[in-house]
Amino acid sequence: MKVGVLALQGAVAEHIRLIEAAGGEGVVVKRTEQLDELDGLIIPGGESTTIGKLMRTYGFIEAIQNFSREGKAVFGTCAGMILVADHIAGQAEAHLGLMNMTVQRNAFGRQRESFETDLDVKGIQEPIRAVFIRAPLIDEVGDRVDVLSTYNGQIVAARQGQVLAASFHPELTDDSRMHAYFLDMIRQNR
């Protein structure tokens, strides 16, 4: 299974390493044409406004929307989660609009810019180690969205069909189970 990592900004090499640890083939994606050969795409963390602008400049908005419409899997982590949402609190426009949810940027405030915790994730046996960095939260989800994880009662991971989103950075640990979950999602959809 070939899984691309959108390489406009953010932690690309780390995601590739964990895709491979989970048994997939990782591809660094810089051009829209590369999407044709992929089974899934990860949109990494970084700064969502910057990544959104670069996506517009290089034609990735429409290309990823089409990719998702074809039933291919998309996983947005941290800033990537903001990019897949169809609503961003306090902003008139969203980016890709692939998942029916409202996200709140930088939701943990300045005092707790980054932290790590163990999280229970639906579909994964033991808790996973999650790293949060200026992380967003999911404020509200639509009917077709399955909540996969919460932290202090707030939603930090969710799935809608072949779209997966997480507030945290699963690529900054040695735990590849979130990536394995994404590969399973693709496998089950075949």
The distance of closest approach from Cβ of residue 187 to ligand GLN in the complex, given in angstroms and rounded to an integer, is: 27
Give the span between the Cα atoms of 21 and 174, in whole angstroms: 9
Among 15, 95, 169, 179, the active-site one is 169
Does the footprint of ligand GLN cover residue 48 (CB under 6 A)? yes
Residue 14 exposure: Cα atoms within 13 Å on the Cβ side: 16
Give the span between the Cα atoms of 95 and 173, in whole angstroms: 28
Give the span between the Cα atoms of 137 and 102, in whole angstroms: 9
Task: Answer yes or no: 171 catalytic.
Answer: yes
Q: Using an 8 Å Cβ cutoff, are 177 and 124 in contact?
A: yes
The annotation status of 159 as a binding-site residue, yes or no, is no
The residue with tokens 């990544």 is 51
Among 78, 87, 95, 179, the active-site one is 78
Considering only the stretches 22-30, 64-72, 75-83, 140-148, report the one whose residues sit in contact with ligand GLN under the rule CB under 6 A.
75-83
The distance of closest approach from Cβ of residue 108 to ligand GLN in the complex, given in angstroms and rounded to an integer, is: 10
Site residues for ligand GLN, 109-138, by CB under 6 A, read 133-134
Does the footprint of ligand GLN cover residue 46 (CB under 6 A)? yes
The residue with tokens 């507030």 is 167
Task: Answer yes or no: 78 catalytic.
Answer: yes
Does the footprint of ligand GLN cover residue 106 (CB under 6 A)? yes
Among 41, 78, 165, 172, binds ligand GLN (CB under 6 A): 78
How many positions of this chain bind ligand GLN (CB under 6 A)? 11
Q: How far is CA 74 from CA 116, 125, 128, 151, 173, in A?
A: 24, 22, 20, 23, 20
Positions marked active-site: 78, 169, 171
Residue ranges at the known binding site for L-glutamine: 46-48, 105, 133-134
